Structure 1
Amino acid sequence: MEGPRSPNEAELPHVLEFLNQKLRNEAPWSIAAEYPTAFNRNNLHNMRIIADEGKVLSHAVLKPLIIKSPHVIFKVGAIGSVVTHDEHRGQGLSTQIVKDCLKMATEQSCDIAILWTDLFDFYRRMGFELAGNEVSFVIEEEFEANNEGLRFSTDPRVSPDAIYRLYSSHSINSVRTIEETKKFLSIPQTKVYTAWESNGQLAAYAIEGKGIDLGGYLHEWGGSVSKLMALFSFIRMQKGQPVTVICPRHATNLIQQLEKLPVTKNHGFLGMIKLVNFDQLSAKIKRAFRAEGVADIVLEKHPTQYVFGIGTDLYTINKETDMVRLLFGPVDYRAMDMFKPETLDKLEKILPLPLWIWGWDSI
């Protein structure tokens, strides 16, 4: 048995065959079509396998992302497609391979690692914790919105440049290229909804579905709030059934408009997050606070605990997973009565960190 290691180029077809059998057995497409930026030769060095006599036994992939936000530029290591052959489960192979992905994430200067799973206890043993914020709205009924003279379309043949232009206007997004946007638009089971100005300019877009995942979920969208609401109205009418819009918590204007509709609102987590380069992340956070005029921010890691606060108003945190939830949410500082009111006012200039990862970037 050898590994964890990256597969060589000649092994890539065999790795994809293993993943298709284990994770996409009933899909008529390859998993590489669903995750075109993760499963390609340019990311081969971030794929990890454990093999025995040429047979793949276990796999995971790391996809580094650069996430821009108003205060901090994060480097995030997204981990996905973690799977072990049925006959070799219970031997610790998945644990080995995930830990190797974390080692790579550390070596590649990622601040944090993130993954999406329902195996919470398994990943908690490796230091991951549910954190971050996600708000979803199930639009239960059709509704009217001012269409502002827009033309709506379900034609998937949309210029990647036009999508990229609106995507780039988000205050928090991952760094993408137009070529990557083109690949994302080609993912199987992707439905593209668009709204167009009378002059032919793209005004808003929304993306539903991603391979076998996210059917019925609008997981990527862009445009002004009024144009998006008009587009959501069109989508709900077109589908003739409820549709769910996934939002970051910082999309306050859109959230306020959606809350006026007959919707079911749900609060969730962004994913399972683990700190991998705390000192690097801490330095970024401290710079962000200083830029806001808060020079006495304390965010330190000691051998057995973390110390966090402003000036002499400090709080001691014993578990790394608690630190994750304090930095990225959903911990409510005020409800926990952790700090003085004036300290809370300063902390809330930056925290919780507004991290968001759009649907196309999940792996």
Structure 2
Amino acid sequence: MEGPRSPREAELPHVLDFLTKNLRSEAPWSIAAEYPTALTSNNIHNMRIIADEDRVVSHAVMKPLIIKSPHVIYKVGAIGSVVTDDKHRGQGLSTQIINDCLKSATEQSCDIAILWTDLFDFYRRMGFELAGSEISFVIEENFDVPPINLRFSTDPKVSPDAIYRLYSSHSVNSVRTIEETRKFLAIPETKVYTAWEPNGQLAAYAIEGKGIDLGGYIHEWGGSVSKLMALFSFIRVQKNQPFTVICPRHATNLIEQMQRKPVTMNQGFLGMIKLVNFDQLAAKIKRAFRAEGVSDIVLEKHPDHFLFGIGQDLYTINNETDMVRLLFGPIDYRAIGIFKEETVQKFEKIFPLALWIWGWDSI
């Protein structure tokens, strides 16, 4: 066995063939078409393989993302396309691959790592934990909205510049380029729904699907709440069947409007998150609290525990996974009843940390 290591440039086509065969065997496209910014020669240094006599038997990829939020700018190592050949399973190869991705994330100064999976116990053994928040709304019936002068379209030929303009208005988003937006729009099975002003300006957009994933899910959207609601109403009529809108917890105005409609609301997790560089993240959090007038936040890592609190109101946290859920949610500080009310009020200026990764960035 050789690796984990990055593929050589000449090996990239073989790696993509391995991934397509194992993860997209029934799709008429290469898996690289679904992940045009992760499974590419530009990110080959973040791909990891284990080879057996020049044959790829295990793979994972890490894609660094810069996530902007009102309080913190994160560097996140998103991990995906984790697969081991059937004949080589049970040998710990996936664990080796993931740990090497985490090493790379650490070397590239990522604050946290995140991945999306249903193999919770497997990844918990490597320090990942379900954390963060995701709100989803299943729109089950048609619903009316106040009259609004918009033109709706399902034409996928939309200017990446127009999409990028609305996307950039989100308070929490990953740093993208217009060219990356162009590549995302070309992902197979991507459905684009748009609403246009009378003057021809894009007013709102919604993206459904990403290759074989996220069919029936609106995982990207942009525009004002009133125009998005009108667009969602149009989508429901067009599809003539239920679909789901995914949104972050901090999208409070949209959540309030959705709850007034015939929908089913579900609360879930953003993904499985692991702390990669706690001291670096803690320094960012402390700066955010100082900007809010809270100078005595305590956030320290010791050899066998974490110390967390404000002033003298401190709590010892023994597990890193508990720390993740305290920082990013969904733990409710009031519900656990260990901090004073004045401490909770100060926490709520920043916590839970606003973190959201839009569907096109998931790998």
The question of a shared fold, defined as TM-score above 0.5 by the shorter chain, is answered with yes
Q: Which residue identity does 2:112 align to in structure 1?
A: I
Shift of 1:147: 4.5
2:246 paired residue number: 246
Work out whether residues 7 and 47 of structure 1, in 8 Å CA contact, stay in contact via their aligned partners in 2: yes
Work out whether residues 209 and 217 of structure 1, in 8 Å CA contact, stay in contact via their aligned partners in 2: yes
1:143 paired residue number: 143
Instruction: Give the alignment's TM-score, normalised by structure 1.
Output: 1.00
Match status 1:206 vs 2:210: no
1:111 paired residue number: 111
Distance 1:234 1:94 in 2: 44
2:306 paired residue number: 306
2:236 paired residue number: 236
1:260 paired residue number: 260
Q: CA RMSD in A?
A: 0.4
Q: Secondary structure at the match of 2:76?
A: strand
1:126 paired residue number: 126
Work out whether residues 329 and 352 of structure 1, in 8 Å CA contact, stay in contact via their aligned partners in 2: yes
1:335 paired residue number: 335
Shift of 1:53: 1.2
Work out whether residues 147 and 227 of structure 1, in 8 Å CA contact, stay in contact via their aligned partners in 2: no
Q: Secondary structure at the match of 2:267?
A: strand
1:90 paired residue number: 90
1:38 paired residue number: 38
Q: Which residue identity does 2:198 align to in structure 1?
A: S
Distance 1:147 1:248 in 2: 27
Distance 1:176 1:147 in 2: 34
Moved over 2 A (4+): none
- What aligned pairs does 1:1-363 form with structure 2 within 5 A after superposition? 1-363=1-363
Identity value in percent: 82
Distance 2:305 2:15 in 1: 41
Distance 1:55 1:39 in 2: 18
Shift of 1:182: 0.1
Instruction: Give the alignment's TM-score, normalised by structure 2.
Output: 1.00
Distance 1:160 1:99 in 2: 36
Distance 2:259 2:155 in 1: 29
Distance 1:301 1:211 in 2: 41
Shift of 1:146: 2.6
1:76-120 Cα deviation digits (max 9, x unpaired) = 000000000000000000000000000000000000000000000
Shift of 1:148: 1.4
Q: Secondary structure at the match of 1:96?
A: helix
Distance 2:40 2:89 in 1: 27
Q: Secondary structure at the match of 1:308?
A: strand
Q: Which residue identity does 1:156 align to in structure 2?
A: P
1:30-83 Cα deviation digits (max 9, x unpaired) = 100000000111100000000011100100000000000000000000000000
1:187-235 Cα deviation digits (max 9, x unpaired) = 0000000000000000000000000000000000000000000000000
Q: Secondary structure at the match of 1:216?
A: strand
Q: Which runs of 5+ in 1 are unaligned?
A: none
Work out whether residues 57 and 84 of structure 1, in 8 Å CA contact, stay in contact via their aligned partners in 2: yes
1:222-264 Cα deviation digits (max 9, x unpaired) = 0000000000000000000001000100000000000001111
Distance 2:353 2:79 in 1: 20
Q: Secondary structure at the match of 1:294?
A: coil
Q: Which residue identity does 2:28 align to in structure 1?
A: P
Q: Which runs of 5+ in 2 are unaligned?
A: none
Distance 2:278 2:98 in 1: 19
Q: Secondary structure at the match of 2:324?
A: helix
Q: Secondary structure at the match of 2:65?
A: strand
1:129-151 Cα deviation digits (max 9, x unpaired) = 00000000001100111341100
Q: Which residue identity does 2:162 align to in structure 1?
A: A
Paired residues in the alignment total 363
Distance 2:226 2:186 in 1: 27
